[in-house]
Amino acid sequence: MRTKSICFITGTDTGVGKTYFSFSLIKALKKLGVDAVGFKPVETGCQPSCQDAELLSKASGVYLKPVYSLKTPAAPSVAADVEGVKINVDKIKELILKLSKRYPFLLVEGAGGLMVPINWNYLYLDLVKELSLPVLIVALNRLGVINHTLLTVKVCLDEGVRVEGVILNSCGKEDDSFRSNYESLKKLLDLPVYPFSRPEDATSIALSLLS
């Protein structure tokens, strides 16, 4: 069992359930005896509070304040421009490394997907590559998820990013593709695809990450 680890949580889009999954995974890891915490270095749409960071803190047992908390509900680069903030990526990287040494298991949550710009010269993909972070991809089980997931996985593989697996979040509304998407992704991807429809499903995912 790994005693020290770090993982980056990304999504195929915004609003796919990254924070809810991260919350559930942290809780599952803690039940397995792992001191896991969640950290979202940049959060936008903080009106007035940072709801994602607060939810992560409820599972973590400690509040890890975002390096940048922005009110505008947009990509970090856009929100920073609107609010006259200059995002220093080095500060983000330094804190991630510091936290990874302090806690046995650190989940770092991005905003949206890997191609979202933190500032106009730096994507979340760049952060993942520079820090050599393995990723878990959260995808919402709905029409279009196959294309969005394959595109995200392709970017990772093309850029040398290790993918720990795809989390198919089935907590939303069902549509005509709902029941077939899981089997389709399993056939198309040569990596783990984890169904996630309730918090308890995070336990098996946690065990896989620790093995």
> Is 15 marked as a binding-site residue?
yes
| Residues 29/3, Cβ–Cβ less than 8 Å | no
Whether a cis peptide bond, with omega within 30° of 0, leads into 76 is no
Amino acid found at 207: L
> Is 84 marked as a binding-site residue?
no
> Is 75 marked as a binding-site residue?
no
> Is 144 marked as a binding-site residue?
no
Which phi-psi region, left, alpha or beta, contains residue 84 (left: φ > 0; alpha: ψ -120 to 50)? left
> Is 88 marked as a binding-site residue?
no
> Is 164 marked as a binding-site residue?
no
> Is 10 marked as a binding-site residue?
no
From CA 44, how far away is CA 83, in angstroms rounded? 11
Residues identified as active-site: 40
> Is 172 marked as a binding-site residue?
no
- Residue 41 per-residue DSSP state: S
Q: Given the DSSP bridges, would you call strands 5-11 and 105-109 parallel, antiparallel or unpaired?
A: parallel
From CA 9, how far away is CA 22, in angstroms rounded? 7
* Number of alpha helices (DSSP H) and beta strands (DSSP E) in the chain: 8, 10
Tokens in use for 157?
């593989």
> Is 52 marked as a binding-site residue?
yes
> Is 181 marked as a binding-site residue?
no
Residue numbers in the known binding site are 15-20, 44, 52, 109-112, 169-170, 200
Residue numbers in the known binding site for substrate are 44
Residue numbers in the known binding site for Mg(2+) are 19, 52, 109
Residue numbers in the known binding site for ATP are 15-20, 52, 109-112, 169-170, 200
